[in-house]
């Protein structure tokens, strides 16, 4: 007998656009119902500055998505990111009075002990990702159920964010008359949507490039081994054009026109376009337009894009994964649309790079096969997974947390 149809949804309250995706969970199949994308308000440089404006944006996005889906939402999974995301290693020790055969309950308890770290008052825990276990001093066990030991240690990755920012997002969503099931770091959500299990096994990084926030998460097998907020965003590339063209070409261009130039003519890697092509650049003071070459434009973009992926390379190196990203890097977020981003990523990271596009949702619209929609698609998928785990009979208490689902 088929299980009851459930409505699941994700909201990605970005600083430029707020997106919502609604899906139907039927048995173990996830089917697209409706989505929306509206202009975001209440943000400044990736930080929440006006909770009421953010709530209004969320309410508008949800109302539009509900109208298209023909369903009403009660709860959602919400994406979080921004410059306040940090990660750290945690370690949990579980000692037995005598040699003991390890159970899933023991693994969950060791992982729970690893979360008992002293966080500053302004930090809140977002995710706990088990990496591996040490059994009687022997490291590297991924799932040592059935092994006999006296001392079990769990090694985990803890992802935290600003408590004030986190509470602001949750309260803004609640003011839009929605219950927040959980919050998810945006690159983690994007990974849910676009990275398959066997790709994680071989090592992969997901870089979510937004207008005012960029995040990265790195996987080695099922384990998330690194996560961070990076200081380079899509907004930096636009601002670089404003200042860079002034100093290198004597051209004064407005921010709005710089954004248009970036989207229509920009490329993050020299040599992929006709560098000698002339471009008319509208002068900011209204004195007509000035011609520059496409190379002058792209030299500015390439320098900043290269800096971005050097940060990614450093994160991979700190995690011991700089030569182990066999599946390469997946680029998501609206900023990834810039021509040449995959090429510059491959050059700097020395690994394959491609757009991270959502997969696994039935009837997913073709026009949503866009890296800008991957994060919110992943949030809806995360919501579906939570719903399945809530209704399934658990084999062991705490296994939900053990699998990184808080």
Choose among 231, 220, 185: nearest CA to 316. 220
pLDDT of residue 79: 97
Q: Does the pLDDT at position 308 exceed 90? A: yes
Query: How many independent structural domains does the chain possess?
Result: 2
pLDDT of residue 226: 95
Residue 182 forms part of a structural domain: no
Looking at the fold, whether 103 and 203 belong to one and the same domain comes out as no
Looking at the fold, whether 332 and 206 belong to one and the same domain comes out as yes
CA atoms within 13 A on the CB side of 16: 12
Residue 154 forms part of a structural domain: yes
pLDDT of residue 200: 86
Q: Does the pLDDT at position 356 exceed 60? A: yes
Q: Does the pLDDT at position 1 exceed 50? A: no
**Confidence category of residue 370, pLDDT binned at 50, 70, 90:** very high
Looking at the fold, whether 266 and 150 belong to one and the same domain comes out as no
Choose among 30, 31, 32, 56: nearest CA to 43. 56
Higher-confidence residue: 195 or 221?
195
Looking at the fold, whether 348 and 223 belong to one and the same domain comes out as yes
Nearest-angstrom CA–CA distance, 213 and 186: 10
Q: What is the pLDDT of residues 93-138, one digit of tens each?
A: 999 999 999 999 999 999 999 999 888 889 999 999 999 999 999 9
Q: Does the pLDDT at position 204 exceed 90? A: yes
Nearest-angstrom CA–CA distance, 160 and 127: 7
Looking at the fold, whether 244 and 321 belong to one and the same domain comes out as yes
Residue 41 forms part of a structural domain: no
For 330, the token pair is: 């997946």
- What average pLDDT does this structure show over 280-288? 71
Collect all residues with Cβ–Cβ distance below 8 Å to 32 and sequence separation of at least 6.
21, 23, 361, 362, 363, 364, 365
State the chain's mean pLDDT as an integer.
91
Choose among 216, 204, 242, 201: nearest CA to 310. 216
- What average pLDDT does this structure show over 306-315? 97
Residue 17 forms part of a structural domain: no
**Confidence category of residue 291, pLDDT binned at 50, 70, 90:** confident
Nearest-angstrom CA–CA distance, 330 and 54: 28
- What average pLDDT does this structure show over 86-96? 94
Choose among 282, 222, 275, 224: nearest CA to 251. 282
**Strands in 50-203 per DSSP E:** 75-80, 86-101, 123-135, 138-141, 148-162, 179-185
Yes or no: say if 268 and 209 are a contact pair by the CB < 8 Å rule.
no
User: What are phi and psi for residue 48, nearest 5 degrees?
Assistant: -75, 120
Nearest-angstrom CA–CA distance, 282 and 275: 19
Neighbours of 161 (CB within 10 A): 24
Q: What is the pLDDT of residues 169-194, one digit of tens each?
A: 999 999 999 999 999 999 999 999 99
Residue 93 forms part of a structural domain: yes
**Confidence category of residue 3, pLDDT binned at 50, 70, 90:** low
Looking at the fold, whether 134 and 206 belong to one and the same domain comes out as no
Looking at the fold, whether 260 and 312 belong to one and the same domain comes out as yes
Looking at the fold, whether 305 and 220 belong to one and the same domain comes out as yes
Nearest-angstrom CA–CA distance, 261 and 107: 53
Helix axes 294-318, 255-265, angle to 10 degrees: 80
Instruction: Please state, for a pLDDT cut of 90, what percent of the chain lies above it.
Output: 77
The DSSP secondary-structure symbol of 3 reads P
Looking at the fold, whether 129 and 211 belong to one and the same domain comes out as no
Q: Does the pLDDT at position 396 exceed 80? A: no
Q: Which domain holds residue 91?
A: 86-162
Across the chain, how many H-helices and E-strands are there? 11, 18
CA distance readout (Å), 149 to 106, 108, 109: 11, 16, 15
Residue 244 forms part of a structural domain: yes
Higher-confidence residue: 276 or 88?
88
pLDDT of residue 274: 84
Residue 105 forms part of a structural domain: yes
Q: Does the pLDDT at position 406 exceed 80? A: no
pLDDT of residue 284: 65
Q: What is the pTM of this model?
A: 0.92
pLDDT of residue 275: 81
- Domain containing 297 — which CATH number? 3.30.420.40
Residue 56 forms part of a structural domain: no
């Amino acid at each position: 007998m088929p299980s009851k149809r459930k409505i699941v949804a994700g909201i990605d309250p970005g600083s430029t656009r707020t997106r919502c995706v609604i899906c139907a969970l039927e048995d173990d199949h996830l089917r697209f119902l409706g989505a929306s994308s509206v202009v975001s308000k209440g943000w400044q440089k990736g930080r929440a500055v006006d909770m009421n404006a953010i709530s209004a944006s969320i309410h508008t996005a949800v109302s539009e998505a509900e109208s298209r889906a023909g369903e009403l939402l009660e709860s959602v999974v919400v994406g979080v990111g921004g410059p306040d995301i940090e990660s750290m290693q945690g370690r949990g020790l579980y000692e037995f009075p005598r040699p003991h055969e390890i159970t899933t309950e023991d693994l969950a308890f060791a992982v729970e002990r690893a979360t008992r770290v002293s966080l500053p008052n302004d930090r809140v825990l977002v995710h706990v990702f088990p990496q591996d276990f040490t059994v009687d001093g022997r490291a590297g066990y991924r799932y040592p159920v059935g092994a006999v030991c006296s001392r079990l240690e769990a090694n985990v990755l803890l992802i935290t964010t600003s408590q004030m920012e986190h509470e602001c997002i949750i309260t803004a969503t609640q003011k839009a008359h929605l219950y927040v099931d959980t919050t998810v770091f945006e690159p983690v959500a994007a990974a849910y949507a676009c990275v398959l299990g066997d790709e994680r096994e071989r090592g992969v990084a997901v870089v979510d490039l937004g207008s005012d926030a960029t995040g990265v998460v790195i996987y080695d097998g099922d384990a998330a081994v690194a996560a961070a907020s990076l200081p380079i965003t899509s907004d930096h590339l636009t601002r670089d054009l404003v200042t860079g063209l002034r100093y290198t070409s004597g051209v004064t261009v407005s921010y709005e026109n710089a954004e248009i130039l970036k989207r229509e003519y920009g490329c993050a890697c020299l040599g992929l376009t006709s560098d000698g092509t002339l471009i008319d650049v509208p002068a900011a003071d209204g004195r007509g337009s000035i011609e520059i070459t496409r190379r002058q434009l792209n030299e500015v973009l390439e320098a900043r894009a290269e800096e971005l992926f050097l940060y990614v390379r450093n994160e991979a190196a700190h995690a011991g994964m700089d030569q182990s990203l066999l599946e390469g890097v997946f680029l998501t977020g609206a900023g990834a649309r810039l021509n040449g981003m995959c090429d510059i990523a491959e050059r700097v990271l020395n690994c394959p790079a491609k757009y991270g596009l959502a997969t696994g949702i039935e009837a997913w619209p073709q026009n949503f096969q866009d890296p800008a929609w991957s994060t919110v698609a992943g949030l809806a998928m995360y919501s579906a997974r939570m719903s399945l785990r809530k209704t399934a009979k658990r084999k062991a208490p705490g296994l939900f947390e053990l699998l990184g689902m808080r």
